[in-house]
Amino acid sequence: MSAAAQLVHFADRFAAIAKPAGLSLATPRRQPGAAAQRLILALPPEERALLSGRELHLVHRLDVSTSGLVLLALDEGMHRDLVASFTARRVVKLYLALVWGRPRPGTGCWEGKIGPDRKDWRRMRLDASGRSAATVWQVVDSAPHVSLVALWPATGRTHQLRVHLTAAGHPVVGDDLYGGPRHRAVRDRELRAALAAPRSLLHAWRLEVGGLVPGRFEAPLPDDFAAALAGAGLGLAPAERLWHAPGNFTGSKPLSQLPSPLA
C-alpha cells in the first residue's frame, strides 16, 4: 500500500499534490476521472475535504513507482490552459534521481528517440523510428557506487527519464524494470541495505508553470528517498537553488551512439 498523498498548494482553480510512490494514475477510457479520484482519496481527510465536490481534472501523470508533484485542475477552463502550457513547453519540470555510477561529464543533454519495446510491453526503449526525446542532466552529489542527479525532461515521453538513464549506463536505483541486477557489486552490508529500495528512486521534485500565480511548487523528498541518500552519504543541499536546466553544458553524444543495454 502506498503512503499518503500531500496537498502542496490549494487554489480556487487548481491544486498541486505530492503523489506517493505506488499510486497508479492510469486512466481507463471508460473511467476518465478514476485517476484523479484515487489521488484525492490518498490525501489525509482534512486535505481531502478541501476538494470535496469539486471538478477534478488530472493535468499530467507520473509512473506508478515515481513520487512527486502532480497538478490537478478544478474546472475545465483551467485544465485546458494547463494542458496547453505543458504542450507548449512553458512548464519547467525538475526531477531528482538516485542512480548507479556517476554520469560524465557532470552536466549535459541526452537525446534518443523512444518507442515501445516489442519484446516486453511494459517497457520502452531507444528506437530510431520512435518519438524524439531529450533530457538535460546535472550531477548534484556523488559517492562510491551512486550519484544524486537532477533531471529536466525537455519532452514528455513515457518512461523517458528511466530509458535515457539506463541507456547512458546509469539506471535508477530500485528500478527493477530497467535497472537490471540490484546492488551493483556493493559489498558493504550497510550500504547495500540503504540502497535496497522497494521502488525506483525517482522523484518529481519541482514544477514552474509560466503564467500561473503562484507558479513554483515543490514536493518534499519522501522518507525512503531521503533515507537512501543519507545511507549513501549524499545530501540535497547542493540542489536547493536549482530550478531551471543549466545552459552552459558541453553536451554529450546522442544516446543512439552509445552502447545501450536497451539495444
From 88, 114, 136, the end of a domain falls on 88
208 three-state secondary structure: strand
Q: What was the pLDDT predicted at 2? A: 66
Instruction: Read off the pLDDT of each residue in 126-142 and give the average, rounded to a whole number.
Output: 94
Q: What was the pLDDT predicted at 211? A: 86
Domain enclosing residue 145, as ranges: 92-263
Instruction: Read off the pLDDT of each residue in 190-211 and give the average, rounded to a whole number.
Output: 93
Q: What was the pLDDT predicted at 11? A: 95
Do 18 and 121 sit in the same domain of this protein?
no
Do 45 and 147 sit in the same domain of this protein?
no
Q: Quote the number of domains for the chain.
A: 2
Contact status, residue 178 vs residue 168, Cβ threshold 8 Å: no
Instruction: Read off the pLDDT of each residue in 59-65 and give the average, rounded to a whole number.
Output: 94
Do 203 and 231 sit in the same domain of this protein?
yes
Q: What was the pLDDT predicted at 102? A: 95
Do 59 and 166 sit in the same domain of this protein?
no
From 26, 59, 88, the end of a domain falls on 88
Q: What was the pLDDT predicted at 256? A: 52
- Catalytic residues, by residue number, are 63
Average pLDDT value for the chain: 90
Do 58 and 139 sit in the same domain of this protein?
no
Do 32 and 66 sit in the same domain of this protein?
yes
From 59, 88, 117, the end of a domain falls on 88
Do 80 and 101 sit in the same domain of this protein?
no
* pLDDT of 10 higher than 80: yes
Span between the terminal Cα atoms of the chain, in Å: 34
Do 18 and 125 sit in the same domain of this protein?
no
Do 168 and 221 sit in the same domain of this protein?
yes
- Taking only the tens place, the pLDDT of each residue in 65-117 is 999 999 999 999 999 999 999 999 899 999 999 999 999 999 999 999 999 99
- Taking only the tens place, the pLDDT of each residue in 20-46 is 999 999 887 888 789 999 999 999 999
Do 176 and 245 sit in the same domain of this protein?
yes
Contact status, residue 129 vs residue 119, Cβ threshold 8 Å: no
- Which of 140, 206, 202, 128 minimizes the C-alpha distance to 166? 202
Residue 100 belongs to domain with CATH number: 3.30.2350.10
- Which of 77, 86, 157, 173 minimizes the C-alpha distance to 124? 157
Do 4 and 105 sit in the same domain of this protein?
no
Do 43 and 135 sit in the same domain of this protein?
no
- Taking only the tens place, the pLDDT of each residue in 209-236 is 988 889 999 999 999 999 999 999 999 9
- pTM attached to this predicted model: 0.92
